[in-house]
């Protein structure tokens, strides 16, 4: 390469210097920005994002003073209370067999705990003396007691007659108090009414039930029959052979006799039931000495 001489260098440097002098004012002047272009400002929020679809919930911003630990899940929105539906009894559902009704257990009765003592009490002995004075034929019977059901007669007797001339058939097992009440009722009420209505004596009484170890037909309490404290009468037979049957529609004259007997029984007996009371007593009179408060009676 040939060495650059001073005259040659001068010839090259002179045009370069002139070009730089011409470009200086242009470079020193700052370009003007167009007014339509906004100048960005610092620390300003960016453009607003487009809204989310309506079916997508937008989460709320976290508060600035929220704790730094893990947040609890939001409480579930309360659900509207369901309308209660009426329960349908299982027995009424189609295709299901009905459940048989459960038998009610008889309520405890203090008389169920009665047992005979070593010697017969004086009140029982006195009752038997009164029966003999009324002309009642009877025999002693062994004590009756059923712990499971609750039936009990500590000192029962078996009646063969209800007076000197009035038989009872079949033979009847009662407690002594009920036997005495029945004998006195026949002598004081039934015999006089029979003579007044039919001009005949009462010859016999047909009983439908006496001592029976059972609860009442509607369950619950024990029947008075379970204590030998009740007598059911179905027929009255007179000395001339006429038989008067207890029923819902007896002949007129028989009905007059039966109504008189039934009405007079309320007082000597504490319970009196018969035709019209209920279906169980449509064919007999029920008399008993059920203990009631203040000596009350129940007569239908």
Q: Tell me whether residue 97 is in a domain.
A: no
Tokens 């010697």 correspond to what residue? Answer: 119
Q: What Å distances lie between residue 102 and 48, 105, 203, 209, CA to CA?
A: 77, 9, 44, 26
SS3 state of residue 283: coil
Q: Tell me whether residue 90 is in a domain.
A: no
Q: pLDDT-derived band of residue 266, with 50, 70 and 90 as boundaries?
A: very high
How high is the pLDDT of residue 106? 46
All residues at 6 or more sequence positions from 289 whose CB lies less than 8 Å from its CB, including other chains: 177, 178, 181, 224, 229, 230, 269, 270
DSSP letters, 49-113, are PPPPPTTSPPPPPPPTT--SSPPPPPPPPPPPPPPPPPPPPGGGSTTPPPPPPPPPPPPP-GGGG
Give the residue with greater pLDDT, 124 vs 147.
124
d(CA 179, CA 185): 10
* Domain that residue 133 falls in: 121-290
Judge contact between 269 and 286, C-beta under 8 A. no
Q: Tell me whether residue 89 is in a domain.
A: no
Give the residue with greater pLDDT, 196 vs 88.
196
Domain total in the chain? 1
Q: Tell me whether residue 242 is in a domain.
A: yes
Q: Tell me whether residue 152 is in a domain.
A: yes
Residues 104/105/106/109 CA torsion (nearest 10 deg):
-150
**Residues facing residue 266 across a β-bridge:** 269
Give the residue with greater pLDDT, 11 vs 250.
250
Q: Tell me whether residue 159 is in a domain.
A: yes
Mean pLDDT of the chain: 81
For residue 232, how far is the Cα from the chain centroid? 33
- Answer positive or negative: Cα dihedral of 224, 230, 231, 232: negative
What are the structure tokens assigned to 21, written together? 């002098």
Q: Tell me whether residue 210 is in a domain.
A: yes
SS3 state of residue 130: helix
- Answer positive or negative: Cα dihedral of 173, 174, 180, 181: negative
d(CA 213, CA 112): 11
Angle at 267 between CA 262 and CA 268, to 5 degrees: 85
Q: Tell me whether residue 151 is in a domain.
A: yes
All residues at 6 or more sequence positions from 147 whose CB lies less than 8 Å from its CB, including other chains: 112
d(CA 87, CA 294): 46
How high is the pLDDT of residue 108? 79
All residues at 6 or more sequence positions from 261 whose CB lies less than 8 Å from its CB, including other chains: 189, 190, 193, 236, 285
Q: What is the pLDDT of residues 150-176, one digit of tens each?
A: 999 999 999 999 999 999 999 999 999
Q: Is the pLDDT of residue 286 over 60?
A: yes
How high is the pLDDT of residue 252? 96
């Amino acid at each position: 390469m040939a060495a650059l001489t001073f005259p040659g260098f001068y010839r090259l440097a002179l045009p370069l210097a002139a070009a730089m002098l011409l470009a200086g004012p242009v470079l020193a002047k700052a370009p003007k920005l167009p007014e339509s272009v906004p100048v960005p400002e610092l620390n300003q929020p960016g453009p607003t994002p487009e809204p989310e679809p309506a079916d997508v919930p937008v989460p709320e911003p976290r508060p600035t003073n929220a704790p730094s630990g893990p947040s609890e899940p939001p409480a579930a929105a309360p659900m509207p209370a369901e309308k209660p539906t009426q329960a349908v009894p299982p027995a009424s559902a189609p295709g299901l067999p009905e459940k048989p009704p459960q038998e009610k257990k008889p309520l405890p009765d203090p008389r169920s705990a009665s047992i005979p003592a070593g010697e017969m009490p004086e009140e029982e002995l006195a009752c038997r003396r009164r029966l003999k004075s009324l002309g009642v034929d009877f025999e002693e019977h062994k004590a009756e007691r059923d712990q499971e059901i609750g039936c009990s007669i500590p000192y029962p007797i078996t009646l063969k007659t209800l007076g000197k001339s009035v038989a009872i058939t079949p033979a009847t097992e009662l407690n002594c108090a009920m036997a005495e009440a029945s004998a006195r009722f026949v002598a004081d009420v039934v015999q006089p009414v029979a003579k007044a209505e039919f001009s005949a004596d009462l010859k016999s009484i047909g009983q439908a039930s006496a001592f029976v170890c059972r609860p009442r037909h509607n369950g619950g309490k024990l029947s008075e029959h379970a204590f030998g404290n009740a007598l059911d009468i179905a027929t009255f037979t007179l000395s001339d052979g006429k038989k008067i049957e207890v029923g819902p529609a007896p002949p007129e004259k028989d009905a007059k006799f039966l109504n008189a007997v039934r009405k007079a029984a309320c007082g000597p007996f504490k319970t009196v039931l018969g035709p019209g009371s209920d279906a169980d007593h449509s064919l007999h009179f029920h008399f008993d000495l059920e203990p009631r408060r203040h000596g009350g009676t129940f007569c239908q």
